[in-house]
Each structure stands twice: as C-alpha cells, then as structure tokens.
Amino acid sequence: MNRVFSGVQPTGNIHLGNYLGALRQFVELQNDNDCFYCIVDEHAITVPQDPKELKKSILDVAALYLAIGLDPKKSTVFVQSQVPGHAELGWILNCVSVTGELYRMTQFKSKSKGQESVGTGLLTYPVLMAADILLYDTNIVPVGNDQKQHIELTRDLAIRVNHKYGEKTFVVPEGRFMKSAARVMALDDPTQKMSKSAQNVHSRISLLDDDNKIKKSIMKATTDSDGEVRYDVENKPGVSNLLSIMSALTDRPIEQLEKDYEGHGYGDFKKDLVAITIDALRPIKENFNEIRYSQDLIDALTAGAERANEISLATLKRVRDAFGMGI
Ligand code: ATP
Ligand code: LTN
C-alpha cells in the first residue's frame, strides 16, 4: 500500500482553489492508500499570526477535512505541532540544504518581495515541508501545481541524503497533481492564483461562503468583451478559469461545456456556475457545522497525532542512526 502525505496551512479562508487543486484528491486517495493529512501550523507561523485566530483556524481546517469526506478511520488526520518529529527532521534537513536553492523558490520570492525584513522561517519553509513528507516514508504527495518546485526540492534533498548516508535512508516521493483545475485563478484577476490571503474577498470562493456571497463573487468575476464561452487561457483567462471550475465541479469536459454554451452570453453561463457551486458547497457546509464543535473532532485529531508520532519516531531513529547522531 502506498503512503500518501499532504498538508494545508491553517491560515483561514480555505477556498475553491485549495479544494479543487488539492483537497478533493485527498478523499479519492484514502480508500486505496495509507493517507496522512496534516494541518501544518508550524508552516503557518512563518508569517505573523494572531494566536486566537490560529487556534480557531486549526480546528476549522480539521473540521473541513472531515466535512469534505475524509474519514478518520481510513486517514490519519492530525496537527503538525503535535508531532515533534517534524521540527527535528526539519532541522536535520536544514543542515543538508544550501541557501542558494532556497532563495530560488518562487514562493519565497513572492512572499518576501517588498518586505523590509524577511523571517528565516519563510526561507526554510520548503525544508520543513520536505521533512513533513520524508518523515512518513511518503510515496505520493497530492498538491496543487504551485507546490511543484517544493516537491522537486524534497526529492533533491532525499536523493542527496541517500547518496551520502545510504540509499535506504529516505523514500523518494512523487507529487500528484490534478489534471483539471490544478491551478484555480483569482476571480477578480485571472493572472493571479486564487489565494487565502488576497485583500478582495470576491477574488475567491471560500468553502464556507454563504449563497449570496458565492453569487456576488461569481457574477462580478472578470471576463472579457467578446461574449464567447470559449477556453483560451492566453486571450480569455477569466472565462477559461470559470470553465475549468465548472468542469471540475461537474466532471464535464471543457469541450462539452463550450458546446453547451455556444450562442449563450456570459450571464447564463455565470448563473449556472453560481447554482453548481452552491450545490457543491452545501453538503460541505452542513457537515462542517455538525463536526466543528464536536468531541469527535478532538478525538480524531488526538488519535491521528498518536499514530503519526509512532510512525515518525521510527523514521527519526533511522535518520539519526544514518547520520551518526545520539548515543
Ligand atoms: P495562500 O493562498 O495564502 O498562498 P495557499 O492556499 O497556497 O495559501 P495552502 O493552504 O498551504 O496555501 O494550500 C493548500 C493546498 O491547496 C496546496 O496543495 C496548494 O497547492 C493548493 N492550492 C492553493 N491555492 C491553489 C489554487 N489557486 N489552485 C489550486 N490549488 C491551490
Ligand atoms: N506548502 C504547502 C503546505 C504544506 C504541504 C506539506 C503540502 C506544508 N507541508 C507537505 C504537502 C506536503 C502549501 O500548500 N503552501
């Protein structure tokens, strides 16, 4: 059985991009794999967080994990900081990576751009991500396209360590990216990815948005003036983004949607997308409300951390031994 690992940051506003690019694969994978799904709070603190908000966000993401269909009996769901091995392996891998390869990461470049002072954690973020993955002998990492570079770095570090300290030290993982909607773009600016942190709330659809907000954001979404519902990322990035969202939510190929909307204006197309999105998010919101304040959620996270600790300690022992650390 393959081991799967992925993580989401508890930084609020989990959106349709997170869901279509990453979370929906999590559910699909849990039946045939040994899956670990983590809420990566140690990654969240690479930028300043309000402690009360962070605590709330951690449980929000955990509840969303279960609300979209993750079953704690099948998947190990847990919070990163409850498993000390992440920080320890992160440190060891810091000593294997070089600063040049970290400065090259596009996420680092974009998050540090224009900042007067840049936290060290922001630079070493991808090393901690590599530790998350390698700690569980992971084979498959389901993520959105924006994480490709980080997965490559994880592979590089694993190969580098294996070369120096023994080929069996780490399992070399592979990324798994969605074929459709692997990169959902912002509704107000389809040249940027949909993001949790963007100022404009209408740039994204959050999974917990109410129906009115969903309607407003989609009806306001940037399109173009030619009026044709056609997929053409270069010349029609807004419409193309909405088409990929509709295709991902309905499992209908984009070519089929283009045919269906031939001769219709953007108004009809957007109205249908509003209805489809509202229908898709309704059960998630209902499940979320049921789970969020339940003891079951806390129990699932406690059991998850226990299993994650057990597995991670075995990997750490192997790594410490390979490096000659300890007594
Ligand atoms: P921010 O939007 O603030 O930069 P983020 O959403 O990228 O944060 P995470 O919460 O860690 O950060 O992302 C969780 C998962 O969602 C990752 O696998 C990431 O690749 C995926 N993801 C994030 N944004 C998108 C997007 N716009 N389209 C597709 N997948 C995405
Ligand atoms: N960097 C990821 C979140 C993340 C992650 C991981 C994803 C942290 N550790 C391990 C997969 C595997 C992001 O989406 N921003």
**pLDDT score at 167:** 92
- The reply to whether 228 and 166 lie within a common domain is no
Q: Would 194 be classed as within a structural domain?
A: no
Residue 126: CB within 6 Å of ligand 1? no
- The reply to whether 40 and 155 lie within a common domain is yes
Question: What is the distance in A from the centroid of ligand 1 to the CA of 195?
Answer: 7
What is the set of active-site residues?
A: 111, 193, 196
Minimum-distance ligand to the CA of 38? 2
Question: What is the distance in A from the centroid of ligand 1 to the CA of 151?
Answer: 14
- The reply to whether 283 and 313 lie within a common domain is no
Cα 307 from Cα 29, distance rounded (Å): 19
Residue 42: CB within 6 Å of ligand 1? no
Q: Would 190 be classed as within a structural domain?
A: no
Q: Would 316 be classed as within a structural domain?
A: yes
CATH value at residue 310: 3.40.50.620
Would you call 2 helix, strand, or coil by DSSP?
coil
Please name which of 67, 15, 11 lies closest in space to residue 42, comparing C-alpha atoms.
11
Would you call 222 helix, strand, or coil by DSSP?
coil
Q: Would 188 be classed as within a structural domain?
A: no
The residue segments making up the domain with residue 281 are: 201-288
**pLDDT score at 208:** 96
**pLDDT score at 19:** 95
- The reply to whether 27 and 166 lie within a common domain is yes
Question: What is the distance in A from the centroid of ligand 2 to the CA of 264?
Answer: 40
**pLDDT score at 181:** 74
Q: Would 191 be classed as within a structural domain?
A: no
Q: Would 196 be classed as within a structural domain?
A: no
- The reply to whether 218 and 280 lie within a common domain is yes
- The reply to whether 241 and 304 lie within a common domain is no
Q: Whose CA is nearest to atom 15 of ligand 1?
A: 18
- The reply to whether 110 and 230 lie within a common domain is no
Q: Give start and end residues of each alpha helix (H) in 68-210.
A: 85-94, 99-103, 106-112, 120-134, 148-165
Please name which of 193, 178, 184, 186 lies closest in space to residue 6, comparing C-alpha atoms.
178
- The reply to whether 93 and 164 lie within a common domain is yes
**pLDDT score at 71:** 98
Q: Whose CA is nearest to atom 4 of ligand 2?
A: 7
- The reply to whether 152 and 240 lie within a common domain is no
**pLDDT score at 197:** 87
**pLDDT score at 130:** 98
Minimum-distance ligand to the CA of 10? 1
DSSP-derived pairing of the beta strands 174-176 and 3-8: unpaired
CATH value at residue 273: 1.10.240.10
- pLDDT per residue of the chain (327 residues) written in tens, 0 to 9: 999 999 999 998 899 999 998 899 999 999 999 999 999 999 999 999 999 999 999 999 999 999 999 999 999 999 999 999 999 999 999 999 999 999 999 999 999 999 899 999 999 999 999 999 999 999 999 998 889 999 999 999 999 999 999 999 999 999 998 777 778 999 999 999 999 989 999 999 999 999 999 999 999 999 999 899 999 999 999 999 999 999 999 999 999 999 999 999 999 999 999 999 999 999 999 999 999 999 999 999 999 999 999 999 999 999 999 999 999
**pLDDT score at 179:** 75
- The reply to whether 276 and 305 lie within a common domain is no
Q: Whose CA is nearest to atom 25 of ligand 1?
A: 17
- The reply to whether 163 and 300 lie within a common domain is yes
Q: Would 60 be classed as within a structural domain?
A: yes
Question: What is the distance in A from the centroid of ligand 2 to the CA of 216?
Answer: 30
What domain count does the chain have?
A: 2
Residue 7: CB within 6 Å of ligand 2? yes
| Residue whose CB lies within 8 A of the most ligand 1 atoms, among 13, 18, 122, 148, for a mutation test | 18
- The reply to whether 307 and 270 lie within a common domain is no
Q: What's the pTM?
A: 0.93
Q: Would 234 be classed as within a structural domain?
A: yes
